[in-house]
Amino acid sequence: MANNKLLTNEKQANIGNFLVGRLLPIKEKRQVGPFTFIDHMGPAEIGPNKYMDVDQHPHIGLSTLTYLFEGEIEHKDSIGSEVIVKKGDVGFMTAGSGVSHTERTPKALRDGKTYPVHGYQIWVALPKELEEMNPEFHFVQNHELPSKETEELKIIVAAGEGFGMKSPLKVHSPLFMVDVLARKDTELNIRNKVEGEIAFVIVKGRLTNEGQEIEAGQMLISTTENECKVQLKQGTQLLLFGGEPLPEQRFLSWNFVSSNKDRLKQAQKDWEEKKFPKVASDNTYIPFPTWK
């Protein structure tokens, strides 16, 4: 592996009855383009005694992106948004100056049966001039996303621009999130297809880079200038993340992202004093962690 590339493994973390694999941030790399946090959920089963129930919690200074390969998640927020994100949909909540939300297994799936859930939850930092923008929520269904299919590959642009396509999702800086499926053993050439920093997240299967095999649960980070081609085995699925890095450093504190550390302290104080907007008809509350 060349010195200008970085290979990392998922690290386990707990969220609301689930173990997730955390891919970003890591010690060696805090962001890839504007992407500052990536959690891999599942593959797992939900069932009678195990549902996703992430109670009301806050965000500032970022957009959260939900993308599923299997299952459904009910999103509710303090803007008034209520939507069920399903396979291949993109849910995109921009917190800006402050928002609260919940993420739960929909009522329709709480019927005593078991269902699969598998996907990614991602944070995208906002440009400095938009960190305090009014909160927004945007939702794009899978059939609205642009895609290309060949004998070798199926490519879907979920967010931003790449491979000559542009997602209808409203984003706030130059970025890309691309879903790639290899129909047979093939080569993926990214030259002039996406721009900026890039992370190859292996969802299933494996790719080969400079003779090294990279498998599901791993992430390869590079720049589009240094990485042009990777070899994919049949059935391999990737998510490509990245874009132009933001010029200022970003700081994280629990669910908050900001270019200003004092703003993070204020957000903590506001949450502890219950000054954030609330999700309608939801009195749940996740306290600010004492270990922070």
Residue 232 lies in a domain: yes
Q: Which residue has the tokens 């299919």?
A: 149
Q: Is 238 inside a domain boundary?
A: yes
**pLDDT surpassing 60 at residue 152:** yes
pLDDT > 50? residue 162: yes
For the segment 211-221, the average pLDDT, to the nearest whole number, is: 90
Measured distance CA(227)–CA(267) in Å, rounded: 39
Half-sphere exposure of 99 (CA within 13 A, CB side): 26
- Please state the rounded mean pLDDT for residues 232-253: 96
Distance CA(105)–CA(92), nearest Å, equals 18
85: how many CB neighbours lie within 10 A of its CB? Answer: 22
Residue 159 lies in a domain: yes
In a domain, 172, yes or no: yes
Q: Which structural domain range is residue 97 located in?
A: 6-243
Predicted local distance difference test score (pLDDT) of residue 223: 83
Q: What CATH number does the domain containing 31 carry?
A: 2.60.120.10
Determine, yes or no, domain membership for 166: yes
> Which range is least confidently modeled, 29-43, 66-80, 250-264?
29-43
Q: pLDDT value at position 25?
A: 83
pLDDT of residue 252: 95
Residue 107 has pLDDT above 70, yes or no: yes
Residue 116 maps to a domain: yes
Q: What is the pTM of this model?
A: 0.93
Mean pLDDT of 228-241: 94
What is the arithmetic mean of pLDDT over 60-85? 98
Task: Please give the pLDDT value at position 14.
Answer: 62
Q: Does residue 155 belong to any structural domain of this protein? A: yes
Distance between CA atoms of residues 271 and 266, nearest Å: 9
pLDDT over 70 at 291, yes or no: no
Number of domains in the chain: 1
DSSP state letter for 143: G
Cβ neighbours for 287, distance < 8 A, ≥ 6 positions apart: 272
Residue 288 inside a domain? The answer is no
- The region of weakest confidence among 23-32, 46-55, 97-106, 126-135 is 23-32
28, pLDDT greater than 90: no
- Single out the residue of 93, 172, 168, 98 nearest to residue 137, CA to CA: 93
**Residue 9, both tokens:** 């493994």
pLDDT given at position 108: 96
